[in-house]
Structure 1
Amino acid sequence: MGIPQEALLSIARMHHIRSLTKFRRLKQHARNSEVRGLVKAGKPGVLVFRGTKYTVSTFLENARALRYLDFHHVETIPLLPSSAGFAEKIDYGLEEVEDMKVLISRLEEHGLKDWFRKAMGMAK
């Protein structure tokens, strides 16, 4: 029996996500890397996802290879027990949300709104 891997939570952003081909590949990389989370397409493109150190690292490498304009890995933190339910019911991959308001609302359900806003430079 292996040692349980620590769950991590990551944010990545890019100038935009518009190309449907790249977007499909991004989602496929998430499934193949075994991360799960949310993605907001359009401008800016935002990813919030969870996984282990290895799966997060693998996904970020694959996402960078897509050469999105202005791609940045914003932050990775340990997933706290109070937020452990985030993306738990999403199959491996990324679930698309319609806009930033919906993304923040979904994060708020798990106590992650303030962390996200601060990491993204949106804090008041």
Structure 2
Amino acid sequence: MLQHNPIYVYFPASDMGRARQFYEGKLGLVPQQEINGGVVYAFGGGTAAFLYPTQNAGTSKASQAFWAVAAVDQEIEELKRRGVVFEDYDMPGEKNPSGAISAGGAKAAWFKDSEGNILALIQSL
């Protein structure tokens, strides 16, 4: 059923030029394909994300997506060097100097893209 199939993420963008600068310039993503005014980015495990134009970008108060990473702190350092600004949420758990929060068997950090979408990095502990 569905659990045996890849799942894809949508990144809504109100300004595609600005969004592409963020995703490609700051996050270092490489576009795989352009479709109907949007852009597909491929990721590990055969998954992908579709950046697409819409005026509804940034309206969700919850995380749009997260990357499962091996080392959150290293990813934070690299993304900060590229100009990504991380959110400072007041949440339960232990906050380390990089800003990541450890709780419930995971370490996590959140940032917003150029469109106001909330994205996260998650490391299993």
TM-score category by the smaller chain?
Answer: under 0.3
Normalized per residue, which structure has more helix? 1
Normalized per residue, which structure has more strand? 2
TM-score normalized by the length of structure 2: 0.26
